[in-house]
Structure 1
Amino acid sequence: MEGLRERKKRETRDAIAAAALALFLERGFDAVTVVDVAVAANVSEKTVFNYFATKEDLVFANAEEKLFERAEAIRLRSPGTPLSRVFLADTLRFLDAIEAGEVDRAMTVPRLVRASPALRGRLMLAWELEAATLTAAVTDDEDDLIAAAAVRSLVWANRVVFRAAMRRLIGGEDPADVARDLRAEAERVYAQLDLGLAGYGA
C-alpha cells in the first residue's frame, strides 16, 4: 500500500505535471520554461527536475506507467492468446474512451506535439523505447528479429487507428461516429495482420 511519503511525492509530481500542461496549452510548449512551470506549481526549479529529467518529460508524464501496464498485459496474457489480441484490446479501450467523451484528454498531447519540433523529436525516441520494451515483454532474446518485427507491426496498427481518430476528431466529426467506424476498421486491421502472423505469440 502507498505510504504517506509516497503519496505526497505522487501528489507533488501530479501537481507539477498539471501546472506544466496548463501552461503548455495556454502558451505553447516552446514558449514555456521550466522556471515558469516551477512558479505555477509553487515549487522550486530543482524540485521540477527532481521529478522530471527534461521539460519534454512533463508532456509525457504518465507514459512510463502506461508502457509498463502494456508490457505487463503482454506478459500476463492467457496461454494460447495471440499477441494481436492484446494490442486490439488496447486499441478498443482507446476508442471506448473517445466514445465516452474523453476527446479533449485524448487530443491534448497530439496537439502539443504537432506544434513543437522538440516534442516531435522526443516522440520518436518514445516510440523506439515503446517498441523495445514491448518486444522484451514477448521474448528474452534481444536478437529475435521475428519478435521485433511482429511487435512493431502491431504497435503501428494501434498507431494508425489513433492517427485516423485524431484526424477525424480535429476535422469536427462526432466522436461516437468515429469510435464506431474505427472499431470495425481496427478489427479488420488486426485480422489482416493475424493472417500474416498466423497467431504468433499464442
Structure 2
Amino acid sequence: MEGGLRERKKQKTREEISAAAMALFRERGFDAVTVAEIARAAEVSEKTVFNYFPAKEDLVAHRGAELTKALIDAVREQPPGVSVIVPFRQMTEALLDAVEREPVESIVAVPRLVMGSQTLRQRLYLGWEEEAAALAPVIAERAGLEPDDFVGAMMARVLSWTHRLIFRAAFTRLLAGEDQVDVAAALRIEAARAYDRLERGFG
C-alpha cells in the first residue's frame, strides 16, 4: 500500500514537472527556457527535475520513449499466429482517432517545438534509432528469426516509419489549417493501404 502511494506521488511530481515545462516551451520555445525556470514553475528543485528527466530534451522526448515501451509490450503480447503488424496498425488507428477528436494544439504542440529547435531534432533522430534497436529483436523473435537478423531490423524500421509518416502527414496538414475530421478520414485510407501492402509483403 505504502509503495503504491509512493509511486503515485512520484508519478504526480513527474507529470507536474512535465506540464510546467511544456507550458513554458509553448510560450517561449524549447531553447529559450532553462531548467531552473522549469523547476521554479513546478515548485521543485533543479535536482528534482534532473532526477525525473536526466536531460532537458527528455522533458519532451519521454513521450516517445513511453510509446516505444507500450509498443514493444504490445508486440510481445500478441497471440501466436497474429501478424506483427497488428500493434503498429492499432497504434496508427489510435493516433488518427486523436487527430479526429482531440484539440488540435495537443497534437501539434510537440512537433511545433521540434521544428523550432535543432537540439530537439537531434534528440528525435537519436530516439528513432533507439526505438529501432529496441524493436528489432522483439520483432525478429516474433518472426522466428535470430535477434540480430537483418530482416528483423529492416521490419522494425519499415513499420516504425509507416506510423511516423502518417503522423507527419497529420500534423503537417493540421498546421496548414485543414479540418481535423477530413485529415483523419484521408489518412485512415492511406494507413490502410500501407499496412495492407506490408501485410502482403511480410507475410
When normalised by structure 2's length, the TM-score is 0.93
Shift of 1:167: 1.2
The reply to whether residue 20 of structure 1 matches residue 21 of structure 2 is: yes
1:76-117 residue CA offsets vs partner (Å, 9 max, x unmatched): 112211112221111111001111134221211100000000
1:133-182 residue CA offsets vs partner (Å, 9 max, x unmatched): 11132235342111110111111111111111111111111100010110
SS in 1 for 2:177: coil
SS in 2 for 1:82: coil
**Displacement over 4 Å in runs of 4+:** none
- Taking the aligned partners of 2:68 and 2:124, their CA distance within structure 1 comes to 14
Unmatched 5+ stretches in structure 1: none
1:120-145 residue CA offsets vs partner (Å, 9 max, x unmatched): 00000110111111113223534211
The reply to whether residue 180 of structure 1 matches residue 185 of structure 2 is: yes
Question: 172-181 or 81-90: which moved more?
Answer: 81-90
Alpha-carbon RMSD: 1.4
- Taking the aligned partners of 1:86 and 1:3, their CA distance within structure 2 comes to 29
- Equivalent residue for 1:166? 171
- Taking the aligned partners of 1:102 and 1:129, their CA distance within structure 2 comes to 29
Shift of 1:195: 2.6
- Equivalent residue for 1:63? 64
Specify the code of the residue in structure 2 equivalent to 1:192: R
When normalised by structure 1's length, the TM-score is 0.93
Shift of 1:8: 1.0
- Taking the aligned partners of 1:101 and 1:86, their CA distance within structure 2 comes to 21
1:24-64 residue CA offsets vs partner (Å, 9 max, x unmatched): 00010000000010111111111111111000001123333
- Equivalent residue for 1:85? 86
| Relative contact order higher in (CA < 8 Å, ≥ 6 apart) | 1
SS in 1 for 2:86: helix
